Every structure is written in C-alpha cells, then in structure tokens.
Amino acid sequence: MSLEKINVAIIGSGPAGLTAGIYAARAGLEPVIFAGPSLGGQLMLSTMVENYPGFEKGIMGPELMQNMIKQAQNVGTEIKHESIDKVDLSSRPFKLSVGEKNYEADVVIIATGAVPKKIGLKSEAKLLGKGVSNCATCDGAFFKDKEVAVIGGGSVAFEDAIYLTHHAKKVYLVHRREEFRAEKVLVEKARKSEKIEFVLNYTLKEILGEEKVAGIELQRTKDEGDVKKLDVEGVFIAIGYDPKTDIFKGKIELDEKGYIVPKKKTMTSVEGVFVAGDAEDFMYRQAITAAGDGCRAAMDAEMWLLEK
C-alpha cells in the first residue's frame, strides 16, 4: 500500500475546488485536487452561462471550467483524477484513501458539491440542457415569453416558479399533492401571480421531444388512467439537492440534510478541515458563490497554517 504526503488536499473540482486550488497554489501551499468522477463539476453538464462575471456575451459551462482547470494547473495546482472513498479526520495529518492508495494531508478543503435530485426518466437525462434544467436562475432567461413547467412542491420549486415569471409567459407549478413543504410566504406570493398556474395531484410521467423539449405528460396521482399534456418548452426539476458528503458522515458535523456545517468562517467542526461551495451552501448554489467560497477556504487555510 502506497503512502503520499500532501500539504493541502482539496476534494472536489468544481468552481469551489478549482478556485481554492488557485489561491492555495499562489500562497505556496502546493495543493492537490482530487477531481473525483467529474473534473469540472456540474457546470461541465451545462450550456451557456450568462451570469458569471467577466464574459459579456456569456460562456459555455464546459469552456468556463476548462479555463479554470488550466488556470489552476498553470499556477501550480496538481490535479489527480481520483475519487477519495475513505477519510480519517480524527487526527492530523488527516488520512485519505483511494482504494489501496493512501494519502496524508495537513489540511483538507472539502468542495464535493451537491447534485440535483432526479426524477429518473430517460427523457429527463436525454433533454438536460435542451429544455430540461435544474437551475432557474441559471437558465430562466432562455425561456423569455415561453411556457414552462416547474416540478416540485418545496421552497426551491416556489422560488424557481416566482423567478421564472420575470421571463416566461406562463409557469405551471406541478406537484403530486395539494399540500406544500414550501414556506407559507412563498406559496402566498405564487398564488397572487397571474403567470403561475397550479397543477396539483399530478406527477411527471414523460418529457416529450427529441432534440428539445416539446411538452410534458402528467399522470394524476389518484387515477393512473388520467393523463394530461402541457405544451411547454421548458421543464425545471426542483425537487431538491443531495450534498455529496456521505464519506464525511460521523467524521465532521453535518446538518439533518447532510450539508456540512461551518463553525469558524469556512472551518468545519474539525480544525484544519475547511468547506467550500455547495457541500455547505444549500441556498445560493451558483458558480460565482462557489468560487468565492473556494477563495475564502484557501485563505482561511493559509492563515490557520501560519498560526500553527
């Protein structure tokens, strides 16, 4: 079994992890990023990004992430195409494992992110980025004066539906029950909107279209024979997110949903372990906020190491 010693280990390679790598490398901390199964994170699956500063005409998600990857490498960040599958944070140096490979790190920055919950339809995966979206604030502007559907009944779904009224001609909010988990104030605001129509006691059965979304089929929850079609051009899946923090359960403090709880700035409940991005941020979930978190975590790590 091999053992490699690392100064700063960064777990995750989205905007948070790569920005942490850039700042840590420029501080002379010789960071190593463990990229996991998808180098570049969720933005590698997106299309045009119009809300990341510095690109007046927008930039394709994969291109933005490739730029970040090259920048991180150019300033001295090492990127390993490996997935950490086991951690021991009980004492320093922290122990990380990739199968039979073992690493020891003085500092760990967790930037594993979160993934949108999926309904599980083949058409959902096929049309992702072609009318199917998990992020209204990212993609809403592409549906100006069009009809769209939001699937979900929690606060995220209502926030998405309300946001989409600024762009779309009509927003259908589809939920499997008549009761909502969303905050009452959001429900009341949505009910007052002339652009939002509630479609209750229905689930998403199928997303129609080959090259782009051409409508959806809904199935009534109490009568499987009752199928309704909506002629929408956009479908926003808003049933929540799952933070990718399973390997940290019992090792650092997580909240009831599995998100990492920061204690002192970006430091977690374990000294020397920091968090950045969507593994902690359940509210904003933007590339720019994740990048900012990566900057903060790297700077916090640098100061902590200097104090030690």
Domain boundaries, given as residue ranges, for the chain: 3-115+241-307, 118-237
Name every residue whose Cβ is closer than 8 Å to that of residue 283 and which is 6 or more positions away in sequence: none
The band of 49, judged by pLDDT with boundaries at 50, 70 and 90, is: confident
The model carries a pTM of 0.81
Q: Render pLDDT for 180-224 as a digit per residue (tens, 0 to 9).
A: 989 899 999 999 999 999 999 999 999 999 999 999 999 999 877
300 noted as active-site residue: no
Give the Cα separation of 140 and 133 in Å (integer): 9
The answer to whether 204 and 176 are in contact (CB under 8 A) is no
Give the Cα separation of 159 and 277 in Å (integer): 20
The answer to whether 61 and 38 are in contact (CB under 8 A) is no
CATH class assigned to 3-115+241-307: alpha beta
pLDDT score at 223: 76
135 noted as active-site residue: yes
Residue 46 has pLDDT above 80, yes or no: no
Give the Cα separation of 35 and 21 in Å (integer): 11
Residue 1 has pLDDT above 70, yes or no: no
DSSP string, 246-295: GGGBTTB-B-TTS-B--SBTTB-SSTTEEE-GGGT-SS---HHHHHHHHH
Catalytic residue among 85, 88, 106, 139: 139
Catalytic residue among 85, 88, 135, 300: 135
pLDDT score at 51: 87
DSSP state, residue 73: H
Q: Render pLDDT for 93-139 as a digit per residue (tens, 0 to 9).
A: 999 999 999 999 999 999 999 988 999 999 999 999 999 999 898 89
pLDDT score at 32: 98
Give the Cα separation of 23 and 8 in Å (integer): 11
Please indicate whether the domains covering 3-115+241-307 and 118-237 agree at the CATH topology level: yes
The band of 155, judged by pLDDT with boundaries at 50, 70 and 90, is: confident
Collapsed DSSP state (helix, strand, coil) of residue 235 = strand
Collapsed DSSP state (helix, strand, coil) of residue 143 = helix
Give the Cα separation of 227 and 240 in Å (integer): 25
295 noted as active-site residue: no
Q: Render pLDDT for 250-299 as a digit per residue (tens, 0 to 9).
A: 999 999 999 999 999 999 999 999 999 999 998 888 899 999 999 999 99
Helix or strand (DSSP H, E) at 139: helix 136-139
CA–CA distances in Å: residue 85 to residues 36, 82, 99, 119, 122:
9, 9, 7, 26, 28
Chain-wide mean pLDDT for the chain? 94
* Other beta carbons within 10 Å of 144: 10
Give the Cα separation of 157 and 164 in Å (integer): 10
Mean pLDDT for the stretch of residues 31-45: 90
Q: Which two tokens stand for residue 216?
A: 């959806």
The answer to whether 35 and 73 are in contact (CB under 8 A) is no
Catalytic residue among 106, 138, 293, 300: 138
Give the Cα separation of 308 and 7 in Å (integer): 13
- Domain at 118-237, CATH homologous superfamily: FAD/NAD(P)-binding domain (3.50.50.60)
